[in-house]
Structure 1
Amino acid sequence: MRLRYFFFLLFCSFSLSLQAQEKKEKVYTFKIDKDIDPAMNRRVKLALEDAVNQKATLIVIEMDTYGGAVNDADDIRTMVLESEIPIYVFINKDAASAGALISIACDSIYMAPGGSIGAATVVSGGDGAAAPDKYQSYMRSMMRSTAEATGRNPRIAEGMVDEKIEIEGISQAGSVITLSVSEAIKYGFCEGEYKSLTAILEAQNLGGAEIVAYEEDFVDKVISFFLSPAISGVLILIIIGGIYFELQTPGIGFPILAAIVATLLYFIPYYLNGLAENWEILIFIIGIALLAVELFVIPGFGIFGVLGVIFILGGLVLGMLPNQNFNFDFVPASQLFGALLTVILAALASVGLVFWLTPKVNQWGAFSTITLASTQEREDGYTSSFYAGTLLGKEGIVHSRLRPSGRIEIEGEIYDAISRGDFIEQGEKVIVISTEGTSLKVKKLEA
């Protein structure tokens, strides 16, 4: 009898132990410790999704940021407010501007000694001056509605944006509200001061909880690698160099393949991070098309060629920036300058590489089987002419305007022709100076 009782107690103890393990709290943590931008927006989205998959019972954000893009902050705020899992934020040490908005959206706010929250005035990315009132109004409304949703004083939240709001005992007209730890606790914008995340969990009786920290997976690490300005510069160099070599030696395949791969590696990471938009990639593709038209359809280097280069470089620059269409008000000046510098230096490097590499290509044994390195002389029977040599030196009349290609009439016959870059009007007299190629080369016959 005693033995049966002993086994019964052992079974009950084992069952309770299993239940305790099953009910063990799981706390999921991640950091917002950089500017609020599309990359941070994506990190928060992935972290919150992972927390759901991990069946976390609580999410804690460790915050230390001076703010960033308003649109990305709004996206993050919305995700936090809509989360079915409670979200705490631990401000260690700053939650300014967009960081304040996200913090106020959380269920509970905790701060480290010396921390602060507030100063949410919207500033432009160029000179750091206050943005126009329409942006301030938008930010005020978000701060107010977020504070209302989480049970905090909406007037104080608005005062973090608008320097005209005066609250007795808290702020004076002419300065926006920034709360210290003690002030935040006093006015309901902080639940307590703690030195660490562990201290917060212990205070909430979660000292024994399992803590899971967000970590980038392999794909995210690869994306971060290719977002490096140095790597982006190398990819731009390969893109421009590959396009040039393929246009100079069409049919080889390797240069254009390298350019395509580099283009994908360049745009995909920026696209996934919300920086490169569809229309910006389209601008780059249009630039390639314009350049091809200039080289193959309208020989020379005119408006199509110039526009092609501008569109290609423009697409590469725009793909790196967190702009909203053609609005660059909130693009940090340093980021804009960095993108321009990266693209320009890479373009110049690719041009220098092309001039250095082109004379050497034919000397490489690896290219001798796919390129024509030898000269095929006319005396040996080689010719690229589609016309009889008797047309050389013949005079004719421009049948359709040469721009610089068109058609001419010689002795009643119509021939394709191209000038030396000059535009020659219809009816002008010309003389054939070369019969090689698919078009006669002509020049204007001086009177």
Structure 2
Amino acid sequence: MKRWRLLLFLLLTAWPLLMPAQEAVEAGKPAAAAGNVILLNISGAIGPATSDYVHRGLKKAQQAGATLVVLQMDTPGGLDTAMRKIIQDVIASPIPVVTYVSPSGARAASAGAYILLASHIAAMAPATNVGAATPVHIGGVPDPGGGSKPPEKEDKKDSPDQKGKKEKPAKAGKPGMDEKALNDAIAYIRGLAQMRGRNVEWAEKAVREADSISAEEAVKQNVADLIAADLPDLLKKLDGRKLSLQGREITLKTQGAQLQAYEPDWRNRLLATIADPNVAYILMLLGIYGLFFELWNPGYVLPGVIGGICLLLALYAFQVLPISFAGLGLILLGIAFMVAEAFLPSFGALGIGGVVAFVVGSIILMDTDVEGYTVAWPLIAGVALASAAFFFTVVALAMKARKRQVVSGQEEMLGATGAALENFKEGEGRVRVHSEEWQARSGTALKRGQKVKVVGIEGLVLTVEPYNPEGH
């Protein structure tokens, strides 16, 4: 018994000392993950969903105590704002970030080239390429984040077609938007290359001339650090590599490290889906049509609710997309014309004009050359044809209904037949028309039971005359 008491006393005494160790084990989920490598996958056009995914992934890596983050990338480019957010997160990351252009055949074009140069380590798989970082126009303003079309050479004074022509003096001190965006992009990419000790001259060439090079050339020209066949080969080659991280030298230990892929959560997937130009385009149309039907038939509620939700989602998507407001205005004008065709006798003029405005607006809705940020042609054609067919069907039904005989109202009473309920005295009496009794007057004497025909109506008094089925 004394031994049990002594053991219980020792446990109670030592318990406070064991608590920090126990908490370390519980919090030991991050500690146990030390040495792990977090894998983030960037595939396709870079947009707000991508930057949000990378931001959360880097935070997740810090919480898990990872020693390395690998951005596996295959992108044609993307939006400048999203690209700069990713680069800011990479530069501020306390964990080294390796950008790995993979698999074979992938590319780090445009915005991807900036991210590759900004990373602590730049790696590429065989048969990949990097470059083509010239700004392109998005919404009327050049965007360093996408495109690959090089600007024209400015020095044309010695070309044959310019000989003998008097040059116009350029306006000093007033560079255009293209020059401003180009110079800004050059300064930005040169700064990234200088920070990581990479080839500054090539970085400028990638922007100014849209130059693009293979993985082998990238390593030779000090644009990329190494070539790896796959992820295990990458981790093997990174082991023991020294690099500078926020002013301190570190040595990577990746041999035998566990590779953990961080997949986008529901929020990232939802944002990526909504921000897809084709989905945003459909949401906008569903919103417009839903509200239109609700206003046309008040009280249905469901079309208005669905339309309002879809329209708000579309407006959110347009907020982060390179939207052309001229295109959006043409789409709304086209829909208004097609709706007006159903109510106004324009004999197709409004409807045809509406279809034309709708198609043109859809084409220029996404004012950008960046791949992945345009509305698909088949979708535009399908929606335009469906909308035109719907409204022209409404017009055809309206024209057909216009030719039908009137079945209600005062106009319907004209020409109706009935019978006199009494002998008319002084040209007035009662008649039965459509099973209803009416006061009536007639310029001809009528007898009870005689068939009559309505030829006029004034207030609640009918004007009738004798009805002759043969001669009417």
TM interval, shorter chain, is: 0.5 to 0.7
CA distance in 2, matches of 1:35, 1:231: 15
Q: 1:350 to 1:219 in 2, by over 3 A?
A: farther
Are the counterparts in 1 of residues 330 and 358 from structure 2 also a CA contact under 8 Å?
Answer: yes
Cross-structure match for 2:40: 30
Tell me by how many angstroms 1:150 deviates.
1.6
Deviations 1:394-445 (A, max 9, x none): xxxxxxxxxxxxxxxxxxxxxxxxxxxxxxxxxxxxxxxxx99xxxxxxxxx
> Given the superposition, is the C-alpha separation of residues 351 and 187 from structure 1 closer, same or farther in structure 2, using an over 3 Å criterion?
closer
Aligned residue number for residue 51 of structure 2: 41
Render the CA deviation track for 1:231-267: whole Å, top value 9, x for unaligned.
5565455434433333332343333223223323444
CA distance in 2, matches of 1:276, 1:68: 10
Is the CA contact (8 Å cut-off) linking 1:239 and 1:263 kept in structure 2? yes
1:379 deviation in Å? 9.1
The question of 1:88 aligning with 2:113 is answered no
User: Aligned-pair distance for 1:144?
Assistant: 0.6
- How is 1:291-302 mapped onto 2 (pairs within 5 angstroms)? none
Answering whether residue 262 of structure 2 is matched by residue 214 of structure 1, we say: yes
Which residue number in structure 2 is paired with residue 388 of structure 1?
Answer: none
What is the match of residue 291 of structure 2?
A: 243
Q: Distance in 1 between matches of 2:362 and 2:132?
A: 34
Aligned to 1:424: none
**1:77 and 2:97 are equivalent in the alignment:** no
Kept in 1, the 8 Å contact 2:46–2:82? The answer is: yes
Give the whole-Å Cα distance in 2 for the aligned partners of 1:231 and 1:61.
Answer: 27
Which secondary structure does the structure 2 equivalent of 1:36 belong to?
coil
Give distance in 2, aligned partners of 1:54 and 1:25: 10
Q: Structure 2 counterpart of 1:221, which letter?
A: R
Does the Cα contact within 8 Å between 1:198 and 1:207 map onto a contact in 2? no
The alpha-carbon deviation at position 103 of structure 1 amounts to 0.5
C-alpha distance in structure 2 between counterparts of 1:37 and 1:21, whole Å: 30
SS of equivalent residue, structure 1 residue 88: strand
Does the 8 A contact of 2:42 with 2:74 survive in 1? yes
Alpha-carbon separation, structure 2, partners of 1:192 and 1:144: 20
Unpaired segments ≥5 residues, structure 2: 1-17, 139-145, 153-177, 240-251, 398-405, 414-457, 460-472
Task: Give CA-to-partner distance per residue, 1:187-241, whole Å, 9 cap, x none.
Answer: 4333322212222223343233332212122233344455667755654554344
Q: Which of 135, 143, 149 is matched with 2:195 structurally?
A: 149
Question: Which residue number corresponds to residue 345 of structure 1?
Answer: 382
Is 1:110 the counterpart of 2:123 in the alignment? yes
2:228 to 188, 191, 194: 194
Q: Cα distance, 1:60 vs. partner?
A: 0.8
Name the TM-score, length of structure 1 as normaliser: 0.57
Residue 143 (structure 1) shift: 1.3
Matched residue type, 1:352: A
Output the CA distance in 1 between the equivalents of 2:59 and 2:359.
Answer: 36
1:100 aligns with 113
Q: Where in structure 2 are the equivalents of 1:274-423 lying within 5 Å?
A: 274-275=320-321, 321=366, 323=367, 328=368, 330-332=369-371, 335-336=373-374, 338=375, 342-343=379-380, 345-353=382-390, 377-378=409-410
Whether the 8 Å contact between 1:232 and 1:342 is mirrored in structure 2 is no
Q: Secondary structure at the match of 1:160?
A: helix
Give yes or no for contact 1:160–1:178 (8 Å, CA) kept in 2.
Answer: no
1:263 maps to 2:298: no
Offset at residue 34 of structure 1 (A): 1.6
Residue by residue over 1:345-367, the C-alpha shift from the partner in whole angstroms, topping out at 9 and shown as x without a partner, is 3254245346658999xxxxxxx
SS class of match (1:113): coil
What amino acid is the match of 1:155? E
Distance 1:122 1:308 in 2: 35
Q: What's the TM-score once normalised by structure 2's chain length?
A: 0.54
Moved more, 309-318 or 213-222: 309-318
Is this contact kept in 1: 2:51–2:82, CA < 8 A?
yes
- Give the Cα separation in 2 of the matches to 1:56 and 1:26: 5
**Offset at residue 152 of structure 1 (A):** 2.2
Contact 2:135/2:148, CA 8 A, preserved across alignment: no
Question: For 1:278 and 1:82, how far apart are their aligned partners in 2?
Answer: 34
Distance in 1 of aligned mates of 2:29 and 2:295: 69
Deviation at 1:27, TM superposition (A): 1.5
AA matched with 2:112: G
